[in-house]
């Protein structure tokens, strides 16, 4: 079933009129809901110019910028490491050696089952206790606890995604490669993984969006990323005797949504490029901006998990 | 195609945000000035040639940097403004102690530590010592050591200005009271004799926000903290002013570090005697509605662990 | 071992708390997700736009931020005095509903075109087609992704611990702050989560088997 339009007939004159009525009612309802929210917040003085004037101050902007940069820094390191770990685990899970396979499976299942928040918290306590031995100082333990936690969880998920991609490559490809005299490593790195990555890119990037969002869990271990900074500012900046929670939360939310959408935009773009060539494995189905992780169409490809 | 536009629009927003932040903007601190004028911030002359047999301190001295855990959301006690500057009574105490341990202002790194991770960060050494409305009690002594007390507060209630129904802890039956995870007033108010309904958040500022929104009827913690919030929002909040516990504030440090404990106690005693303490108090907490009296400063000599 | 035995009541409360918040928000997410999925495939443009906006915003916002909105913004919009459990359920349910919606929508698109066409040629309306023909068939393909969404929900409920909801993560932090070895606490908490997540995947496997009619 390709489009939703199959679900209803091309409207006749009567239906058209009725749909128009529904449209108006629907639009009114949506607008009324938004208006209600805005009106209630306005009544509490949340839209007064003074409230929003705080973003004109250099300090506030610098804090926001530093928060965004810290978030992006954690994300960049965690993204690279989790992809590397994902490849490693995926290959290990397909290994011919039983112990390797078991170890990888155990790792993946363990870290996918435990809440990331707990992983990060435990890693932090462990890193803090051993910070001298590891040569970490200042923000080091927090940073690495967050990065390693994100890597362990997202790496496990990426491994499953990649494994599904590798399994989906037609068996003839690997057989042909072996027939040409390639070794196991060569087959994996030059034939299977490139095709798997291409096929699974949309899902991989949706999981990267999850990674980006999850950097906000750093608040639990006093790591000052975007959300932590925003929280601090929202209660410490007092205007007219009330907190600036609403403006700060709205601005922070917009920044996060924009960052994530930019990343999913990348997914759409890559997918469109991938579609041009018809060889090899078909890329997983559309993961356009805002609604990625629908690669689960067949029910067997793992989708990105929130 | 529509998606592409969305992505482009997002990129544009991001670029705009980046340039906007790069261009600076008004300088100065956003938001209202704290009530009662600027909060006092003193400088203390660092001692030289400090020799204390404490591994934590020796490491800090070698690095020429001492990390002190503080609060960042408590006006007049430990407060961080948007420029990143910390002010308040606890901050002054921290600076006094650091000076006597041989650290200048530039060598102090303040680290915001919320109440619920205090024990973890002190015992695991993320901070060298901790000054942030930290009540000394037996439970905590199992995990950390204290120097002091340097001030005695008491648990009190913060309520809406026009709420006349709450007169003390006994009038809280069936009402929602907010406090933070792991704080001593929370343990007290949870006792069945008060019959209060508790909400536990991770920051006092979040509790104050809940009170302002009408989510809870009262916030309970030490009067010193509450008075700061009340002073910030004079027309909305008031402190009941009937303390129902005694909360002696101490400086938290790693358990078993007797040498550092002694050195910090010495520093506190010295600054209480030489008047720095009074000056700092009057410039900070004194402005939030609790003037300096004969019983403000603790009795000397301070207890030695 | 001692940590578990000495603090059995705390662990039990935490376990039940996690179960309760997971069940409540799963229900909310399921209802909302179905509704919004209906919006997204409906013939009425404003509803479609609303559905798209809903999914876009909720999917791309960190859950922690949604918790902040639920606890510190929602009380200003609705009446104050809502309990933390309800607010946490709202945050978790809304967040998860966007994922449920997408799973349902992709499930709908796996139902063969002929089915909807046949329904239409019988004169069924949009809502009849969806309710009686498409959704029951979509259920089968939706189940596996739903299972992983609810497992994720279970784990995400840990965030509620920082917002006055008693659940497992809160217990682990409480005990670790009391100085117990983090290793043991971690082990027991992890085990408790594994029990819940295995129960969910088991439940869904049973459901899949019962719904698994050959097509």
- CB-hemisphere CA count at 13 Å for B216? 29
pLDDT per residue as tens, chain C (215 positions) = 566 777 788 888 888 989 999 999 999 999 999 999 988 888 788 888 899 999 989 988 999 899 988 888 888 887 777 788 899 999 999 999 999 998 888 888 778 888 888 888 888 887 888 888 888 888 878 888 888 889 889 988 988 887 878 888 777 777 766 667 777 777 888 888 888 888 888 898 888 888 765 44
For CATH 3.40.190.10, list the domain ranges present in chain B.
55-152+248-288, 155-239
CA distance linking residue A141 with residue A129, whole number of Å: 9
Of B120, B142, B213, the CB nearest to C75: B213
Which residue pairs from B7-14 have beta carbons closer than 8 angstroms and sit at least 24 positions apart in sequence? B7/A261, B7/A262, B7/A264, B7/A265, B7/A266, B7/A268, B7/A269, B7/A289, B8/A265, B10/A257, B10/A258, B10/A259, B10/A261, B10/A262, B10/A265, B11/A262, B11/A265, B13/A254, B13/A258, B14/A255, B14/A258, B14/A259, B14/A262
Give per-residue pLDDT as tens, A62-72: 888 889 999 99
- Domain-by-domain residue ranges, chain A? 60-298
User: What is chain B's alpha carbon radius of gyration, rounded to the nearest angstrom?
Assistant: 21
Name the CATH code of domain A60-298 (choices 3.40.50.970, 1.10.10.10, 1.20.210.10, 1.10.3720.10).
1.10.3720.10
Nearest chain C CA: its distance from A34 CA (Å): 11
**Segment 234-253 of chain A within 8 Å of chain B by CB:** 235-245
- Residue B154's Cβ-count burial label (10 Å; 0-12, 13-18, 19+) is middle
Taking the Cβ of residue B104 and every Cβ of chain C, the question of whether any pair is shorter than 8 Å is answered with no
Give per-residue pLDDT as tens, A257-306: 999 999 888 877 877 776 655 555 555 544 333 333 333 333 334 455 66
For residue A276, the model assigns a pLDDT of 59
Q: Which domains does chain C have, with CATH numbers?
A: 19-167 (1.10.3720.10)
**What is the pLDDT averaged over residues B87-106?**
89
Contact A291 C61 (CB under 8 A): no
For residue A281, the model assigns a pLDDT of 54
Query: Model pTM?
Result: 0.84
pLDDT higher than threshold 90 for residue B142? no
Nearest chain C CA: its distance from A131 CA (Å): 16
Task: Compute the count of residue pairs across chains B and C with CB atoms less than 8 Å apart.
Answer: 46
Lookup: tokens for B291:
């003037």
**What is the pLDDT averaged over residues A197-208?**
84
CA distance linking residue A120 with residue B173, whole number of Å: 38
CB of C192 within 8 A of CB of C168? yes
Q: What is the CATH code for B55-152+248-288?
A: 3.40.190.10
Q: Which runs of consecutive H residues, i.e. helices, occur in B52-183?
A: 55-63, 89-100, 118-123, 138-141
Contact C81 B215 (CB under 8 A): yes
> Percent of chain A scored above 90 by pLDDT?
20
Q: What is the ipTM of this complex?
A: 0.82
Structure confidence at residue B69 as a pLDDT band (50, 70, 90): very high
Which of these, B177, B193, B176, B276, lies nearest to B226 by C-alpha position? B177
**What is the pLDDT averaged over residues A18-24?**
84
β pairing state of B78-80 and B86-87: antiparallel
Q: Partners for B (CB, 8 Å, 3+ pairs)?
A: A, C
CA distance linking residue B41 with residue B279, whole number of Å: 10
Taking the Cβ of residue B206 and every Cβ of chain C, the question of whether any pair is shorter than 8 Å is answered with yes
Taking the Cβ of residue B12 and every Cβ of chain A, the question of whether any pair is shorter than 8 Å is answered with no
Nearest chain A CA: its distance from C203 CA (Å): 16
pLDDT higher than threshold 80 for residue B179? yes
Give per-residue pLDDT as tens, B202-218: 788 888 888 888 888 89
CB of C33 within 8 A of CB of C105? no
**What is the pLDDT averaged over residues A18-28?**
85
Which segments of A144-272 are extended strands (E)? 238-239, 242-243
Q: What is the CATH code for B155-239?
A: 3.40.190.10
């Amino acid at each position: 079933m390709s489009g939703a339009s199959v679900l209803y007939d091309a409207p006749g004159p009567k239906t058209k009129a009725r749909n128009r009525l529904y449209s108006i009612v629907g639009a009114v309802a949506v607008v009324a809901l938004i208006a209600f929210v805005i009106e209630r917040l306005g009544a509490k003085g949340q839209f007064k110019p003074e409230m929003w004037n705080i973003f004109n101050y250099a300090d506030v902007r610098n804090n926001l910028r530093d928060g965004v940069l810290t978030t992006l820094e954690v994300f960049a390191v965690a993204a690279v490491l989790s992809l590397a770990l994902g490849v490693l685990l995926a290959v290990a899970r397909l290994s011919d050696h039983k112990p390797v396979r078991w170890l990888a499976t155990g790792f993946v299942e363990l870290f996918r089952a435990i809440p990331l928040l707990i992983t990060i918290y435990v890693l932090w306590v462990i890193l803090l206790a051993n910070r001298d031995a590891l040569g970490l100082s200042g923000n080091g333990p927090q940073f690495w606890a967050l990065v390693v936690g994100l890597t362990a969880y997202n790496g496990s998920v990426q491994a499953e995604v990649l494994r599904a991609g590798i399994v989906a490559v037609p068996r003839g490809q690997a057989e042909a490669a072996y027939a040409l005299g390639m070794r196991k490593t060569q087959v994996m790195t030059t034939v299977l993984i490139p095709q798997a990555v291409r096929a699974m890119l949309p899902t991989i990037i949706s999981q990267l969006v999850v990674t980006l969002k999850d950097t906000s869990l750093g608040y639990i271990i006093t790591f000052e990323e975007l959300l932590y900074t925003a929280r601090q500012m929202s209660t410490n900046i007092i205007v007219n005797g009330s907190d600036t929670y609403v403006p700060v939360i709205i601005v922070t939310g917009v920044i996060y949504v924009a960052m994530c959408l930019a990343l999913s935009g990348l997914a759409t773009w890559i997918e469109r490029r991938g579609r041009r060539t018809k060889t090899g494995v078909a890329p997983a189905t559309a993961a356009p901006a805002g609604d990625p992780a629908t690669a689960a169409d067949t029910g067997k490809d793992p989708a990105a998990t929130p | 195609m529509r998606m592409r536009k969305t992505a482009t629009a997002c990129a544009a927003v991001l670029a705009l945000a980046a340039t906007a932040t790069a261009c600076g903007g008004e300088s100065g601190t956003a938001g209202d000035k704290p009530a009662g004028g600027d909060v006092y911030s003193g400088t203390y002359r660092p001692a030289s040639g400090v020799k204390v047999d404490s591994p934590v301190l020796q490491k800090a001295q070698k690095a020429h940097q001492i990390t002190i855990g503080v609060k960042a959301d408590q006006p007049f006690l430990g407060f961080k403004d948007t420029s990143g500057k910390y002010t308040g009574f606890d901050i002054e105490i921290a600076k006094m102690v650091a000076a006597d341990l041989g650290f200048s202002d530039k060598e102090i790194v303040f680290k915001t530590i919320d109440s619920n991770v205090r024990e973890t960060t002190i015992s695991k050494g993320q901070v060298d010592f901790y000054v942030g409305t930290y009540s000394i009690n037996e439970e905590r002594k199992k995990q950390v050591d204290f120097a002091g007390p340097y001030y005695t507060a008491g648990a009190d209630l913060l309520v809406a200005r026009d709420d006349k129904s709450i007169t003390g802890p006994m009038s809280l039956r069936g009402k929602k009271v907010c406090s933070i995870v792991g704080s001593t007033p929370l343990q007290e108010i949870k006792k069945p004799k008060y019959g209060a309904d508790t909400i536990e958040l991770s920051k006092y500022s979040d509790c104050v926000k809940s009170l302002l929104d009408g989510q809870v009827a009262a916030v309970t913690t030490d009067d010193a903290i509450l008075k700061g919030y009340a002073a910030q929002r004079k027309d909305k909040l008031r402190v009941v002013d009937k303390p129902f516990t005694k909360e002696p504030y101490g400086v938290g440090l790693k358990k078993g570090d007797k040498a550092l404990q002694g050195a910090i106690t010495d520093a506190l005693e010295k600054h209480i005697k030489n008047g720095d303490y009074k000056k700092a108090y009057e410039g900070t907490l004194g402005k939030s509605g609790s003037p300096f009296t004969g019983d403000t400063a603790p009795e000397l000599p301070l207890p030695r662990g | 071992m001692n940590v578990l035995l000495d603090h059995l009541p705390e662990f039990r409360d935490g376990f039940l708390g996690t179960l309760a918040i997971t069940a409540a928000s799963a229900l909310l997410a399921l209802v909302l997700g179905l509704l919004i999925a209906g919006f997204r495939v409906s013939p009425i443009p404003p509803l479609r736009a609303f559905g798209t906006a809903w999914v876009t915003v909720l999917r791309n916002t960190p859950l922690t931020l949604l918790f902040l909105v639920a606890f510190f913004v929602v009380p200003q919009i609705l009446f104050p005095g809502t309990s933390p459990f309800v607010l946490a359920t709202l945050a978790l349910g809304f967040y998860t509903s966007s994922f449920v919606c997408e799973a349902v929508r992709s499930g709908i698109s796996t139902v063969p075109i002929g089915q909807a066409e046949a329904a239409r040629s019988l004169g069924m309306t949009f809502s009849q087609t969806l309710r009686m023909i498409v959704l029951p068939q979509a259920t089968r393909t939706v189940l596996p992704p739903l299972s992983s969404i609810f497992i994720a929900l279970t784990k995400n409920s840990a965030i509620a611990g920082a917002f006055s909801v008693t659940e497992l993560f809160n217990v682990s932090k409480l005990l670790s702050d009391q100085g117990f070895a983090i290793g043991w606490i971690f082990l027991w908490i992890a085990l408790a989560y594994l029990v819940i997540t295995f129960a969910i995947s088991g439940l869904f496997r049973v459901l899949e088997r019962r719904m698994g009619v050959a097509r």
